[in-house]
């Protein structure tokens, strides 16, 4: 063989071998995203931002709903998946901040089995009472609860509405009877009907009843007032400094997922959240964008895991 041709052929083979050894740009195929709830607020949010990410990254992000056990079923699936960026999780933060304390055992380690991509948004709960309850402020509700036995509803043991209520009782030193339901929807209906005195629930779930006069809003659980009801003070402003019961969504990958993939997903998620239509929908949903990257999001989860552990142990909340 002509020496020149031999050298050229060898060079071409080397280039081809090197190209074959290089990983394809991520994502090179559809990405599977497990959502830990049935269709509802989390699912709606996930699909909204994933659609934007799919357009930007030019690959489908395919959603699968795997509800159950407070998000544990979905989290276990993702924790045991290949750490290649092609199986991801969207969950409510309580899977990682609350479940470690209220469940005796978990099929995953919330701190070690995941690479945190983002805690993209947070949201609070609105404290509301039935219109017949003679309390027009948090202070009046606390005073009333010391005079008579009151009740508070929740969407079930360990749910954000239950946790906010338990935290409120601990912070104020009062006692109310907890009435758990299988879902927040029915719990709100029964508070509106006057069968239960009060509730902590997402602002969008109770605000229509506040506007109709059937419920009265007394406070917001997060550390900032709701953009949908700016006239309602936070619980902290109402006399309990430091009170904060904020919840969030968590976007996660299996532990060991390459850092560049995690950064790509975090960057694209933030880009999606910056879109004007997404910002408007988040305002309507009463979500507050955090702007947190992977490291800051992991720190947020760790901090809230420790904080909720104290509330849960004080309230004696436990699941099998």
Q: Can you give the residue ranges of every domain in the chain?
A: 31-121+246-315, 126-220
Q: What percent of the chain has pLDDT over 90?
A: 82
* Residue 40's pLDDT band (cuts 50, 70, 90): confident
* Residue 17's pLDDT band (cuts 50, 70, 90): very low
Are 236 and 116 in contact, with CB atoms under 8 Å apart?
A: no
Q: What is the pLDDT of residue 1?
A: 52
Q: What is the pLDDT of residue 155?
A: 87
* Residue 18's pLDDT band (cuts 50, 70, 90): very low
Tokens 């559809």 locate to 30
The domains spanning 31-121+246-315 and 126-220 adopt the same CATH topology: yes
pLDDT in tens, 155-177: 888 889 999 999 999 999 999 99
Orientation of helix 41-57 relative to helix 276-285, angle to 10°: 170
Q: What is the DSSP string of 142-188?
A: HHHHTTS-EEEEESSTTSHHHHHHHHHHHHHT--EEEEE-SSHHHHH
The closest of 137, 149, 93 to 118, measured between CA atoms, is: 93
What letter does residue 273 receive in the DSSP assignment? H
Q: What is the pLDDT of residue 5?
A: 53
> Rounded CA gap, 98 and 160, in Å?
9
pLDDT in tens, 279-295: 999 999 999 999 999 99
Alpha carbon distances (Å) from 152 to 11, 262, 264, 282, 319: 75, 41, 43, 28, 19
Average pLDDT across the chain, whole number: 91
Q: What is the mean pLDDT of residues 101-126?
A: 95
Q: What is the pLDDT of residue 320?
A: 54
Classify domain 31-121+246-315 at the CATH class level.
alpha beta
* Residue 4's pLDDT band (cuts 50, 70, 90): very low
Q: What is the mean pLDDT of residues 137-155?
A: 96
CATH H-level, domain 126-220: superfamily = Periplasmic binding protein-like II (3.40.190.10)
């Amino acid at each position: 063989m002509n020496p020149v041709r031999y050298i050229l052929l060898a060079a071409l083979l080397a280039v081809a071998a090197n190209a074959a050894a290089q990983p394809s740009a991520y994502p090179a195929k559809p990405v599977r995203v497990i959502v830990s709830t049935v269709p509802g607020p989390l699912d709606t949010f996930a699909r909204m931002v994933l659609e934007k990410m799919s357009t930007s990254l030019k690959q489908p992000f395919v959603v699968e709903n795997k509800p159950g056990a407070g998000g544990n079923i979905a989290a276990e699936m993702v924790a045991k998946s290949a750490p290649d960026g092609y199986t991801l999780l969207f969950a409510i933060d309580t899977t990682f901040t609350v479940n470690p304390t209220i469940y005796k055992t978990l099929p995953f380690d919330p701190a070690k089995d995941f690479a945190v991509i983002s805690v993209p948004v947070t949201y609070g709960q609105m404290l509301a009472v039935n219109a017949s309850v003679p309390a027009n402020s948090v202070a009046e509700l606390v005073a009333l609860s010391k005079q008579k036995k009151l009740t508070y509803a929740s969407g079930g043991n360990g749910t954000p509405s239950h946790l906010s209520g338990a935290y409120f009782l601990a912070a104020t030193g009062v006692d109310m009877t907890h009435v758990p339901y299988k879902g927040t929807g029915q719990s709100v209906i029964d508070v509106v009907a006057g069968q239960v005195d009060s509730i902590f629930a997402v602002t969008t779930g109770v605000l229509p009843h506040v506007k109709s006069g059937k419920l009265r809003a007394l406070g917001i659980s997060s550390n900032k007032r709701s953009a949908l009801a700016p006239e309602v003070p936070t619980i902290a402003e109402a006399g309990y400094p430091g009170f904060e019961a904020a919840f969030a969504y968590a976007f996660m990958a299996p532990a060991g997922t390459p850092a560049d993939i995690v950064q790509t997903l975090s960057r694209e998620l933030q880009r999606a959240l910056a879109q004007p239509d997404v910002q408007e929908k988040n305002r309507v949903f009463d979500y507050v964008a955090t702007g947190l990257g992977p490291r800051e999001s992991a720190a947020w989860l760790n901090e809230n895991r420790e904080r909720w552990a104290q509330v849960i142990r004080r309230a004696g909340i436990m699941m099998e």
